[in-house]
Amino acid sequence: MKNPKLIIFASGSKNGGGSGFENLVKCSQRDELNANIVAVVSNHKQGGVRERADRLGVPFVHFSGPYIAPEYKKIVEDSQAEWTTLSGWLKIVKGLDPTKTFNIHPGPLPQFGGDGMYGHHVHDAVFEAYKKGEVTHSAVSMHFVTDEYDRGPVFFEHSVLILKGDTVETLGKRVNDIEHQWQPHITDMVINGKIVWDGKGVCTQIRPSSGL
């Protein structure tokens, strides 16, 4: 039985980033993630994602925009991917099958999601809420992707306790470490049919009763 074909969208930066993408690739090479990673996409032509892709031998696609449905569809169709995952992709996604497209987010949803809420911006917002006594935890969340930022159904959330003495930086690193721990496992469950969504409503997901 062939592993499902997976394409990863990962912005990274001009000078780095892409650690989540690399973690997924290495887990697939160790058979911890049963996926055939057919390509990685970044909006930076020569950034950190490109460097990792070249080193890991994963086909690289530079996506400079426009970030509209026909362009997204063409990239996914050209790669022959069956599934699309976002791992630090910072652009709005349009036109992809929401039942086959999912994202990882470094904070609780929907409270700390939406336009502009990515990376350190999420950690900054969570930490400010913590200092005001509004929250005690951050989280790692995974959700299906619709045409609205971070509004698709959440199918996985792992709480991350904010510790006394934490800074935005220490909290962000701990969240990132937990992302790397769980993302391959949950990705494997989605692309192999253990977590599914019919695209009709938040309550129509099928989640496993065990295995997390």
Encode pLDDT of 121-168 as tens digits. 999 999 999 999 999 999 999 999 998 999 999 999 999 999 999 999
Task: Name the residue among 36, 149, 29 with its Cα closest to residue 86.
Answer: 149
Q: Answer whether 0.85 is exceeded by the pTM.
A: yes
Distance, CA of 14 to CA of 44 (rounded, Å): 6
- In CATH terms, the fold of domain 5-105+141-157+179-196 is Rossmann fold (3.40.50)
What's the token pair of residue 173?
A: 């690193």
Length reported for the chain: 212
pLDDT band at 211 (very low <50, low <70, confident <90, very high): very low
DSSP 179-195: HHHHHHHHHHHHHTTSS
Encode pLDDT of 65-91 as tens digits. 999 999 999 999 999 999 999 999 999
- pLDDT of the residue at 212: 55
Element (H, E) at 104: strand 101-105
